[in-house]
Amino acid sequence: MDFDVVVLGAGIVGVSCAIHLQDRGRRVALVDRGLPGEGTSFGNAGLIERSAVVPYAFPRSLSALARYARNQSTDLYWDYKALPSFIPWLARYWHESSPRRLAAAAHDMLPLILRCVDEHAALAARAGPEAGALVHETGWIEAYRTPREFDAAAKRARQLASAQDLRLDTLDAVALRAREPALSDAFCGGLHWIDPQSVTNPGALTKAYAVLFERAGGKAIVGDASTVRAESDAWLMQTSEGPIGAREVVVALGPWSDTVFAPLGYRIPLRAKRGYHMHYEATTGAPLARPILDREQGYVVAPMQRGLRLTTGVEIAAREAPPTGVQLARAEAHARPAFALGARLDAQPWLGLRPCTPDMRPVIGQAQRHRGLWFAFGHAHHGLTLGPVTGRLLAEMMTGEAPFTDPRPYSPARF
């Protein structure tokens, strides 16, 4: 065999899996059609979200459903041509978002969330000072525009923070402006979640982890994951360096994972929520210190190395459909005055895909019907957050170590 393991996908999840397998003595190849950190891992809001103890659920109130049905909101836009193909998945997502099932999902995800900051810190320390300089202990802020929404959210947040031992500052309008002078008076208050960390270049952090992998003897290769095939006791595939083989293969292709598992007969309900980002000049003298979520409009503005990055909410559209620009235009209309955004810095908006399952849990574990086939995808909005901890859990499972947590909630067999 050329390798013990081939990891398909060089985003934050795949790179993390490769490092942790390498740490346990495996000869690993990391295969992607592009360079590490240039897919979904490139375009997020840069949050290592320690406070994300409750998954993003499907809205269930009649008022929210009516608002989204009008298709005029900033945080959700749906393409009428794609909606019919999403309806079965959305129906299951709605079902899994009942209070009882959402509580179960939160319980299952907590072991991963609890370790997300520590696992990133361990990799960043090994990757070197340039990687560490990208990660900041700033937390993030939920900002609110109306007192009624703010007061209700603050009450819920305090209860959650107390139950989960999270640090939270509740900021009125004056305190919010004092903490973030770059903000306008558009917001009446904010909730500062202190435990999360922010990353000022998520793609560069993923690349730094990939360099760590290669520095320790790992091999990153350009290749087409769709060529992978099982043959006897091996997995073979074509790459730019010719055919390679391994005893085991890890599918960590994010929203493209179905290009491998579907032809092999697995019916995992993975769908991609689309989202956009754009960078802007900052026009105020005071720099933004941390990511800010405009909770009532549903977008994030985060300080990045390139400028202020505006990231949008969810777009429901075909994965291959061309960019629409609808959500970005709506979000920009609200964000420009609130954050004093200057000129656009990118020639075109960036379009990314969030790999989601309807039960709000990732798929981590061994495939049922193929020896040596492992899955690590479906992290929804938290790929950056959960990449390193996923890599650890999967490597423990693959090498026979005792997993740090029960992996059954993430098993592919649940589908």
Q: Structure tokens of 301?
A: 């503005």
Predicted confidence (pLDDT) per residue in 290-348, tens digit: 999 999 999 999 999 999 999 999 999 999 999 998 999 999 999 999 999 999 999 99
Under CATH, which architecture does the 1-56+97-134+201-269+359-415 domain have?
Answer: 3-Layer(bba) Sandwich (3.50)
Strand 197-199: give its sheet, edge to edge. Answer: 47-48, 197-199, 135-136
pLDDT grade for 39, boundaries at 50, 70 and 90: confident
Predicted confidence (pLDDT) per residue in 130-168, tens digit: 999 999 999 999 999 999 999 999 999 999 999 999 999
| Closest CA relative to residue 269, chosen from 100, 69, 412 | 412
Predicted confidence (pLDDT) per residue in 77-109, tens digit: 999 999 999 999 999 999 999 999 999 999 999
Give residue 151's identity as a one-letter amino acid code.
D
Predicted confidence (pLDDT) per residue in 223-270, tens digit: 999 999 999 889 999 999 999 999 999 999 999 999 999 999 999 999
Give residue 27's identity as a one-letter amino acid code.
R
Counting DSSP H helices and E strands in the chain, the numbers are 12, 22
How crowded is the C-beta side of 37, counted as CA atoms within 13 Å? 14
Please report, for residues 57, 141, 282, 317, the alpha-carbon distance to residue 151 in angstroms, rounded to integers and kept in the order given.
Answer: 21, 15, 30, 34
The pLDDT value recorded for residue 287 is 94
The pLDDT value recorded for residue 40 is 86
pLDDT for 208 beyond 70:
yes
Give residue 77's identity as a one-letter amino acid code.
Y
The mean of the pLDDT values for the chain is 96
Please report, for residues 54, 139, 161, 231, 313, the alpha-carbon distance to residue 164 in angstroms, rounded to integers and kept in the order given.
Answer: 11, 16, 5, 48, 26
Whether this model's pTM surpasses 0.75:
yes
Predicted confidence (pLDDT) per residue in 44-89, tens digit: 999 999 999 999 999 999 999 999 999 999 999 999 999 999 999 9
